[in-house]
Amino acid sequence: MKIKKFAEGTQVSVRDTKSHIEHELQKYGITEVLVGFAQGKAMVTFAFKQEEPKFERTIRLWFLAPEQGYTESDSAHDRELRRLWRCLFLTLKAKLESYHSGIESFDEAFLPHIVTPSGTVGDQIIPKMQNLIAGEDVPLIPYQETP
């Protein structure tokens, strides 16, 4: 049985979905938002600030924009872009609601997407997961001495 992909056949434009993403973030008091494309990736980057307990995080969620097998005028390409933007919106909305409802802490919901000077936490940890699962002692984030 083939499972239908979320938002398959959506008519919601990419522009409207980007607007929905920005509105959703504003609903949670997030105003520093960048939504767009860079280096073949569609991405949402935002700064999250909390007063109690006080912390600030920069978050980046993204997906590779589909290119392979499409021509510029191909409507299948446009349909897939619309679908993927809707999926990103759903992911973001679910993570924010999970945090807001107390199901997860902010860091639990967004940990792999937290931006560090070396990339995202996920960029640094996910490649080492198999070693961690095997019980190896692997440093998760490179240690850098400060002068």
Query: What is the per-residue pLDDT across 67-78, written as a single tens digit (0 to 9) for each?
Result: 755 555 568 888
pTM of the model: 0.85
Q: Is the confidence at residue 144, as pLDDT, over 70?
A: no
Q: Is the confidence at residue 65, as pLDDT, over 90?
A: no
**Cβ neighbourhood burial of 112 (10 Å; 0-12, 13-18, 19+):** middle
pLDDT digits (tens, 9 = 90+) for 98-114: 999 999 999 999 999 99
In 3D, which of 66, 51, 46, 42 has the Cα closest to residue 110? 46
Fold topology of 14-116: Double Stranded RNA Binding Domain (3.30.160)
